[in-house]
Amino acid sequence: MIVSPKRVLWPTDFSELSLHAGRYARGFCEVFGSELHIVHVIPPPLGPDVSVMIPAEVPMTVSEQELIEASRRGLEKLIAEHIAKTDKPVVSDAFFGTPWHAICAYARDKAIDLIVIATHGRTGLSHVLIGSTAERVVQHAPCPVLTVKHGQREFLRT
């Protein structure tokens, strides 16, 4: 059996843990010459505008389009700072949706061969209350999924 993913998907929430998973995704792409897809899924707002607190004391209203554009700029910055130049282009996008469902749909639509996603490893009540995007992606993805958490044992070399 030969493993050779052509397209690797890295969903990110811009957290440090997600960046750690991104290093694995980048590593797979370097080894296999894969095309890297990076997505950020924004949970849908409850109304026509999304209220964000920046800083906590100053409310600021942001439209859905502004939020998508800001997320796309964040992805561009992330790619510039954390993804080495490769022969293959990096595909990125940001959009609204239920994160686990949108990630699986993107993987299906783009014929993704491998998803590399961070997991916080929550257990107990916090897992029940917050849920696990990574767990649902593993359950519903159309391809293999590598879940990455910070740990003492890594096989990633920098």
Q: In the chain, what are the domain boundaries?
A: 7-148
Give the residue, 55 or 108, on which the prediction is more confident.
Answer: 108
- Entry pTM: 0.83
Q: Domain 7-148 adopts which CATH fold?
A: Rossmann fold (3.40.50)
Share of the chain above pLDDT 70, in %: 76
End-to-end CA distance of the chain: 27
> Span 102-131, mean pLDDT?
78
Q: Is 46 left (phi over 0), alpha (psi -120 to 50) or beta?
A: alpha
Beta-carbon contacts of 19 under 8 Å, excluding residues fewer than 6 positions away, are 12, 78, 82
| Tokens 């996008």 sit on residue | 93
> Span 93-120, mean pLDDT?
95
| d(C-alpha 111, C-alpha 121), whole Å | 27
Residue 74 phi/psi, 5-degree rounding, is -60, -40
Residue 55 binned pLDDT confidence (cut-offs 50, 70, 90): very low
Interval 84-97: pLDDT, tens: 777 788 999 999 99
Residue 152 binned pLDDT confidence (cut-offs 50, 70, 90): low
| d(C-alpha 153, C-alpha 104), whole Å | 28
Q: How much is the mean pLDDT over the chain?
A: 82
